[in-house]
Structure 1
Amino acid sequence: MTAPTAEAASAPGDEEVPASTNGQGTEAPADETPAAEEKPKKATRAKSTAKKTRTVELTLTVTGSLDGAWQADLMHGSTRVVQGLTIPATAVAKAAQELHPDIAEKIEEVITAAREQHESRLRELQEEMAKVKQALADLGEEA
């Protein structure tokens, strides 16, 4: 029989770990550093299987004035698609109702103010027309 070596004769709890091992009983390569000193690896981005949602940026600007003129401008991203398109007030009111009641309320306020302004102007013109008719009637009698 062969004589046991010094490593085999030692007790299981008394084993010495050689300086060149990684603490797990296996030898570590000379150029490998212990895990505690490793530089953290950059996180690699996992590829998503979800579909990417493509968004479309459209900006519709509707402008109105108290005289009842409405215009629309449409932008696609930074490109102007439509500029200064005349829109009837009824179409603006109808579209506002479809969008949201709060929007419709504000638009209706502007349309009501424009309506009142036009009615006032109509009364003024009717009064002026009545004066002109009276003036013509007076001229007809004198002739």
Structure 2
Amino acid sequence: MTAPTAEAATSAPGDEEVPASTSEEGTEATAEETPVVEEKPKRAARAKSTAKKTRTVELTLTVTGTLDGNWQADLMHGTSRVVQGLSIPAAAVAKAAQELHPEIAEKIEEVINAAREQHESRLRELEEEMAKVKQALADLGDDA
């Protein structure tokens, strides 16, 4: 058995000459037929999470308050509305905010305090008006 020899591959004018290579079977293969392995840039390896994949439930609770002290809750489960416009007391909102996070509680407390001040101001106005009405009734006398 004779050893295969490597011969230069012929190419068209203007092309570079590429030496031929010999395949494992002993047949001649040109550079065009030889597979080229391109090196791909390595991606940064991600740290594998140890957390188990769990099914998540998407619930969106929207709490809306006014300076009048009226609070409402809307609840969405995914894209379907479960509860809409449910009236809730300000005390319950404040308590829930305390349970969630101090920053949330602070902002909600500011809104509740502003509502409280507005109601106290309105109460003073009404008490003054009531005092005037009582005085007007007293001026008319009970004799009538």
Secondary structure at the aligned position of 1:106 is classed as helix
The residue number in structure 2 matching 1:36 is 35
Residue of structure 1 equivalent to 2:23: 23
Q: Please give the secondary structure, in 2, of the residue aligned with 1:16.
A: coil
Q: Hey, which bits of structure 1, 4+ residues long, moved more than 6 A?
A: none
In structure 2, what is the Cα distance between the partners aligned to 1:74 and 1:35? 64
Structure 1 distance, partners of 2:68, 2:77, is 29
Aligned CA RMSD, in angstroms, stands at 2.6
**Alpha-carbon shift at residue 141 of structure 1 (Å):** 5.8
Question: Equivalent residue for 1:136?
Answer: 137
Distance 1:71 1:127, change over 3 A: same
- Distance in 1, Cα, partners of 2:140 & 2:64: 47
Unaligned residue ranges in structure 2 (runs of 5+): 7-20, 28-32, 38-50
Distance 1:35 1:84 in 2: 72
Residue in 2 that maps onto 1:31: none
- Structure with the higher fraction of residues in helix conformation: 1
- Residue identity matched to 1:140: G
Q: 1:76 to 1:137 in 2, by over 3 A?
A: same
* Structure 1 counterpart SS, 2:57: coil
CA distance in 2, matches of 1:22, 1:79: 68
The amino acid across from 2:86 in the alignment is: L
Q: Which ranges in structure 1 are unaligned for 5 or more consecutive residues? A: 1-5, 8-14, 29-33, 39-49
Instruction: Confirm whether residue 109 of structure 1 aligns to residue 122 of structure 2.
Output: no
The whole-number CA distance in structure 2 between the counterparts of 1:35 and 1:82 is 67
Summarize the Cα distance change of 1:76–1:128 in structure 2 as closer, same or farther, 3 Å threshold: same
Structure 1 position 80, deviation (Å): 0.2
Q: How many residues align?
A: 114
* 1:22–1:79 distance in 2 versus 1, CA, 3 Å: farther
CA shift, 1:52, in A, is 3.5
Could you tell me which residue of structure 2 aligns to residue 79 of structure 1? Answer: 80
TM-score, normalised on structure 2?
0.68
Partner of 2:17: none
The 5 A counterparts of 1:83-94 are 83-94=84-95
* Higher Cα radius of gyration: 1
Task: Give me the identity figure in percent.
Answer: 74
1:17·1:23 contact (CA, 8 Å) conserved in 2? no
Q: Distance in 1 between matches of 2:22 and 2:68?
A: 87
- CA drift at 1:94: 0.4
Match of residue 122 from structure 1: 123
